[in-house]
Amino acid sequence: MTRIDWTLLGFILILVTAPLLLPVGGHLDERFAGADGQAQEAILATHPRYEPWFEPLWEPPSGEIESLLFALQAALGAGVLGYYFGLRRGQTRARSAARAAERAQPSSTRDGTE
Amino acid sequence: MRLSACNLVPSLAGEIRMHIMEGFLPPLHAAAWTAVSVPFLVFGARRIVRITREQPQLKLLLASAGAFAFVLSALKLPSVSGSCSHPTGTGLGAILFGPSVMAVLGAVVLLFQAVLLAHGGLTTLGANIVSMAIVGPWVAYGCFRLARPIGLGLAVFLAAMLGNLATYAVTTVQLALAFPDPTSGFAGALVKFGGIFALTQIPLAIIEGLVTVVVINLLIRISGDDLWQLGFGPRPCRVTEVTT
């Protein structure tokens, strides 16, 4: 991580935490809600006769199960990303180390091995 | 401005979601958006098959691009409007592999959320694919190509940020088309949905842009070979010298 990356991560942290610290959303029933029903309400407010013609086949039975699945989604993605970054980092390091060792060797032995 | 917008439509203000809910597009709209998405999915799938066959080394990076979208769309972040929304994560893959592969990877994310989380839906899957997995990535890719001469970091930032915003813009249009305002019609609904979307989404789009820049920086440092294979970015001279 370079200094630029750390600076960017700092900005990200500020952007994520600022709304939580600032007095925003006080006029809402529930701050930082993501309630599923509200968009439906908004549409039904202007289109009272609209009936959703299809229901979700399965819904998480509770908020806990929903957050379990969201966490699972993030964990799966993060796992793949972590595997990739770790693998490539190791490979890149091993290759640089091998090249450094090769350079450090006297030229005569290198000719012998080739 | 913010307060007035929220006061006008209080029921919407706390609820800004990327995906259109199950059953909440009329059947004709749902069918039309699905029809639009199909050719992109077919093209994207063929492109993925070609990449994995011709450049198998890139399989892992491709999976990582999908994983990035998976992670980011699971993170619901607070925004200054007082409500939550989530980034898309589709910009990274579009920048690296081109926009077509993201149609498929984004569709996988949307399917996961529709089936397991009742977030989005199967009938609205087509419409959501068009916004998040097709238009977003294409906008990101276009911005990246246009802004690339200015500088890599800036181009990546703009691409991911505007791709995110484009996704929400399309969702707004889709909702306004399906549910025009009874008095002011399509335009009125567009302004109504759009004003609130923009307020919530701009900070999150900036976050997505910054995260994508950090990931690209990381890739350049540790994964120069993969990027070189993609014909992407600077020559991988920093950690993997071009010795041959």
Cβ of A27 under 8 Å from any chain B Cβ? yes
Domain assignment present for residue B237? The answer is: no
Give the gap in angstroms from C-alpha A90 to the nearest C-alpha of chain B.
9
Domain assignment present for residue B235? The answer is: no
Q: Residue A88 CB: number of other CB atoms within 10 A?
A: 22
pLDDT in tens, A6-27: 999 999 999 999 988 887 766 6
Structure tokens at B15: 């609820």
Domain assignment present for residue B157? The answer is: yes
DSSP state of B22: T
Q: How far apart are CA B71 and CA B156, in angstroms?
A: 19
ipTM tops the 0.90 cut = no
Cβ of B111 under 8 Å from any chain A Cβ? no
Q: How many domains does chain B have?
A: 1
Q: What is the CATH number of the domain that holds B16?
A: 1.10.1760.20
Of B95, B214, B64, B16, whose CA–CA distance to A81 is shortest?
Answer: B64
**Domain spans in chain A, listed from the N-terminal domain onward:** 35-113
* Residue at token pair 């992407």: B232
Give, for B78, the enclosing helix (H) or strand (E). strand B77-78
Helix B136-147 to helix B152-178 angle (10° resolution) is 150
Per-residue pLDDT of chain B (244 residues; tens, 9 = 90+): 333 333 333 333 334 456 888 888 999 999 999 999 999 999 999 999 999 999 999 999 999 999 999 999 999 888 887 778 889 999 999 999 999 999 999 999 999 999 998 888 999 999 999 999 999 999 999 999 999 999 999 999 999 999 999 998 998 899 889 988 888 889 988 887 777 677 788 999 999 999 999 999 999 999 988 998 888 755 544 444 444 4
Q: Do A54 and B214 touch (CB under 8 A)?
A: no
If contacts are CB pairs under 8 Å, which of residues 45-84 in chain A contact chain B? 45-47, 50, 52-60, 66, 69-71, 73-74, 76-81, 83-84
Q: Which residues pair with B185 in a beta bridge?
A: B181
Q: Residue A103 CB: number of other CB atoms within 10 A?
A: 8
Domain assignment present for residue B155? The answer is: yes
Q: Do A56 and B121 touch (CB under 8 A)?
A: yes
B-chain CB neighbours of A45 within 8 Å are 11
For residue B38, the enclosing domain spans 2-229
Residue pair B239/A92 in contact by the 8 Å Cβ criterion: yes
Cβ of A87 under 8 Å from any chain B Cβ? yes
Of B182, B138, B183, whose CA–CA distance to B163 is shortest?
Answer: B138
pLDDT in tens, A28-52: 666 776 534 455 666 777 888 888 8
Closest to B121 (Cβ–Cβ): which among A11, A19, A54?
A: A54
Domain assignment present for residue B103? The answer is: yes
Q: Residue B65 CB: number of other CB atoms within 10 A?
A: 27
For residue B7, the model assigns a pLDDT of 34
Residue pair B57/B226 in contact by the 8 Å Cβ criterion: yes
Give the gap in angstroms from C-alpha B190 to the nearest C-alpha of chain A.
13
Residue pair B92/A27 in contact by the 8 Å Cβ criterion: no
Domain assignment present for residue B243? The answer is: no
